[in-house]
Each structure stands twice: as structure tokens, then as C-alpha cells.
Structure 1
């Protein structure tokens, strides 16, 4: 298996340098110390190096996970406007099939797949009527009460319990609502 992670390359380089240093220091200690003392010291050094290697591997794995999370967050913030608006555009094209945007909707399937692979979930569906929840929704006016029925104008997103962007809601739908 070929791994192209530059962090693993540098980790391998450091590991080789440590091994070379260990060999040189063992040879030097064999000349200075008695064989029994050098074996004990060498075993101790080997165990310390093994522990350091394990620690560095764990640190590398944690850094890798953090880099993935940082990448996802940065990518999401760059795509947030598109992600918030395209479900509404999709719903409008279903309601008005003569809109030229209908041909573009299929292009967004890859975004759905990307979000699913990251574990991001939509908050509601475009034009869905739901009870207003201030933790999940951003109202278009300040006088909407909790539990009041509202329509989702633009979906929001969350990752588990963390809200990435709240769904934008309103008491009314756009002028041309879908026929049921």
C-alpha cells in the first residue's frame, strides 16, 4: 500500500535518525562500559525509543483527525451559501418545471454525497412546514414565537448536535408554492 502523507514521510526520516543514533551510541557504550552495563542501558534506551515512537504515532493520528475536521469546517464555510440555497432552488424547479435551472439540479448530487460522507445533516426540507425552534431556525422576523408553524425557506445544516447553520424560516412561502 502506497501512502502519500508527508507527515508519515518525515516521521520515517526521524525514526531512521533515531535508529542510527541508537546504533552509534550502543557501539560507543560497548567500548566504554562493561557488556552487562551496556546491555541494560541499551535495553532501557530501546524501551524509551519504543515509547517515544508510540507517542509520536498517536500524536500523528490526532493531528490527522484534526486536519480532516479543519478541512471540513473550512470547506463547509466556503460552500455554505450554495448549500443553504440549492435545496430551495431544487424545490422551485419541481414547482415550476419550465425554469431553465431544472437541468442544473442534477449537478448538486455530488454535494449531497459529500455532506453525507462528512456526517452533516440538513435541518428540514425546503418549503416544509415545521414548528419554530430557536435552536434550529433563524426567523425572517423577530416576532415568531417558539412552536409557531413556519415554513423553511432555506435549509440549515448540523453535525450531530452542533448547528453549523440554522434553517432560515418564515411564516409564508414564496409566491409560487408547489402544488400538493
Structure 2
């Protein structure tokens, strides 16, 4: 789909360039100063210009429609991949409020669709929850301004990256949450 958009964009740019070239090669000129300075352009040139303008408008509309279709396809694909999670979330929320002692491990399988989506997009996690790592300000967001690069910290919340681009830095701290230890 992206290739089609690039092709349409290229075609639009090409039409605009041709239009500009035609305007330069066939400017409106004065036929005779005695004719009250009326501009004269050949009918053939005028028709070519009108045809190019129509084609340019058609290509703009195609590009707009393709953009809307891509957005719709993206939303539908994402919804399909998250459908299980989205369908079960309201029930799980009600259950958690009604039964606060419900074991969280019973809910973990609901997040499989979210894991699959992240994997299909090619995103990778930055660290693992509660993993001890050396602080790297490029990958981590510290909970304290005095944490120094290379200092040992714990990942409180993982981050995500796509290749070398950091989408969301992992949140780190010097300590684990109260009640949790490294064992």
C-alpha cells in the first residue's frame, strides 16, 4: 500500500512539474500591441493545460482516498489483533472490582494478543520488569535526577524500541517496589 501511495505522490509531482514547464514554454504573450494587449494562447496548449489540471486533481483525490483506506485498514487490522483483549477487558475489570482477591495469573493469558501485536509491528522491549541493568540515559528514564550513567538500577516499567528508534524509554529506579526483592 505504501508503494502505491509513493507512486501516486510521484505522479502528482510529475504532473505539477509538467504543468510548470508548459507554463514556461508557452507563456501567455502579446500578439500585437495594437490589440489592447490581449493575451493569446494556442487552443492546443490551453487544452493540454486543462487536461493536466484535471489529471492533477484526479491524482490528488486518489491519494486522499488511498490515505483514508490505509488508515481504515490499519485500524481494522489492529482491532482484529486486539479483539480478544478488548472483548474481555470490561468483564475482567468488573471481576477484579467484585473479587479483589482474584489471582492475577488468571488474567495474563488475555494479554497474548497485545504481545502478538507488538511482535508483528517489529517492536522490541527495552529490558524486563525488575531486571537489574546499568543505567543508560538513551534507553532509560530515571525516577531520580541524581542517577548516573552506568549505575545499577532496576527496570520498573519496560520501554519499547523499533530497530534503533526509542519509542518509549524504560522507567528505572535504584530500588524495587516495596515488598519485592530480587529473588
Q: TM-score, normalised by structure 1?
A: 0.48
Report the structure number with the largest CA radius of gyration.
2
